[in-house]
Amino acid sequence: MINLNELKFERTVWAERKLAKLCPNNNIKLFGKVFDSEDTDKQFDAMEEIIIIMHMAYERKQKFLGNEFESIEVTKEMLDNLDEDELTALAMRAFKDFKQDGEVTVEAEPKKEEAEEIPQTTESTSTILGSSTSATA
C-alpha cells in the first residue's frame, strides 16, 4: 500500500505545459477554471490528472538532478480507489505546491527614482482555484 503522505509534487515547465492542457484555451492563468464544471466526473478527473502530473514532475526533476529517491507510481486506478476526502486532501496538497511554486520569491529593489513612483504590493499574481475543489457541491 502506498503512503499518500509520501507523495511529493513539483511545478516545473513540463508540469505547467501538461496542466495548461486542462485549462480553457490551454492558458495556465485560467487554472482555477478547471473546476468550473458542475460535472462531478470531470472534477474528479481533473483532480486526479493534477495529482498525477505534479507528482510525475517531481520525479522527473529528481531524476534529472541525479538525486536518489524512491519512485512511487501514481495511477488513476489507485486514485479511483480513494474515498472523496482522501482524494480531495491529496489534491489540496498538490494545489498548495502549485501555488507556492508559482509565487515569486525574489523581489527586485527598484532604483531610488522608481521607488517613489511604483506602489509596493505583496500580492501574488498566481491564480489558484477560485472555486471549491470538492467534487460534490
Q: Does residue 114 fall inside a structural domain?
A: no
Q: Is the pLDDT of residue 135 over 80?
A: no
Kindly tell me the burial class for residue 113, based on how many C-beta atoms sit within 10 Å of its own C-beta (0-12, 13-18, 19 or more). Answer: exposed
Q: Does residue 98 fall inside a structural domain?
A: yes
More confident position, 90 or 126 = 90
Location of C-alpha cell 515569486: 104
Q: Does residue 109 fall inside a structural domain?
A: no
Q: Does residue 44 fall inside a structural domain?
A: yes
Q: Does residue 35 fall inside a structural domain?
A: yes
The structural domain count of the chain equals 1
Contact predicate 126/102, CB 8 Å: yes
Location of C-alpha cell 481533473: 46
- Count of all residues that appear for the chain in the document: 137
Which residues span the domain enclosing 37? 4-103
Helix (H) or strand (E) holding 43: helix 40-65
Q: Does residue 136 fall inside a structural domain?
A: no
Q: Does residue 22 fall inside a structural domain?
A: yes
- Section 66-81 average pLDDT: 93
Contact predicate 92/4, CB 8 Å: no
Sequence-ordered strand ranges (E) for the chain:
none
The model's confidence at residue 1, banded by pLDDT at 50, 70 and 90, is low
- Section 100-110 average pLDDT: 53
Closest by Cα among 131, 130, 128 to 28: 128
